[in-house]
Amino acid sequence: MSSVVTIEPMRWWQIDEVRRLEERLFPDDAWSIEQFWGELAQPTRRYCVAICDDRVIGYAGLFLLPPDADVQTVGVAPEAQGRGIAGMLLGSLLAGADDEGVTHTLLEVRDGNEAALTLYARLGFVAISRRPRYYPDGTDALVMRRPRPGSTA
C-alpha cells in the first residue's frame, strides 16, 4: 500500500466499496447500501472517504445541524489502521463543522473500543455519560462530547 492517502467527500459511486468495508468492520450491524444512500441524500450529512492506490480504505460521517453535530460513523480498513487515517477523516469533518458554526459535537462509542476511545480523546472528545447495556450484546455505550476549540459552549 502506498503512503499517499487523500481525504475527499464521499460520492454515490463509492457506496458499494464503502459498504464492503462496512461489512468487514461491523459484521454484526453493518449499514445497508440503502442506509448509505439515505445518508448521502440528506443535506445535513457530511461524509468523506480516505483513498489510497485508488481504493477506499476509510470513511467517516457527520450529522450536522449547527450549533450541534453528531459523529455517525468512522471506519478504516484493518490493513490500514494505526496510521492516523481515522484522525485525518474526522479531523477534516470536524474542521468543516467548526467552519459551519458547530459549537459542540457528540458521539456514542462502545465501552472497551480502545482504538476508538484513544482516537476520540486525541480529537478533543471527553466522556460525559454512560448508557448501560446500550448495544444488543449488553455492552455499555459512552457518550462523548467535543466543544469547538476556543468555544465556551
Please choose, out of 27-35, 37-45, 83-91, 93-101, the segment that lies near ligand COA by the rule CB under 6 A.
83-91
- For the beta sheet containing 141-147, the strands, ordered from the edge strand earlier in sequence to the opposite edge, are 6-9, 45-52, 55-65, 68-76, 104-110, 141-147, 126-131
Q: According to the binding rule CB under 6 A, does residue 48 interact with ligand COA?
A: no
| The only residue of 32, 42, 44, 118 in contact with ligand COA, by rule CB under 6 A | 118
- Closest distance to ligand COA from the beta carbon of 27 (Å): 10
Q: Looking only at residues 18 through 37 of this chain, which bind ligand COA when binding is defined by CB under 6 A?
A: 25
Q: How many CB atoms lie within 10 A of CB 33?
A: 12
Q: According to the binding rule CB under 6 A, does residue 102 interact with ligand COA?
A: no
Q: According to the binding rule CB under 6 A, does residue 91 interact with ligand COA?
A: no
Whole-angstrom distance, CA of residue 72 vs CA of residue 19: 15
Whole-angstrom distance, CA of residue 65 vs CA of residue 63: 7
Q: According to the binding rule CB under 6 A, does residue 115 interact with ligand COA?
A: yes
Whole-angstrom distance, CA of residue 134 vs CA of residue 140: 5
Footprint of ligand COA on this chain (CB under 6 A)? 25, 74-76, 81-87, 109, 113-116, 118-119, 122
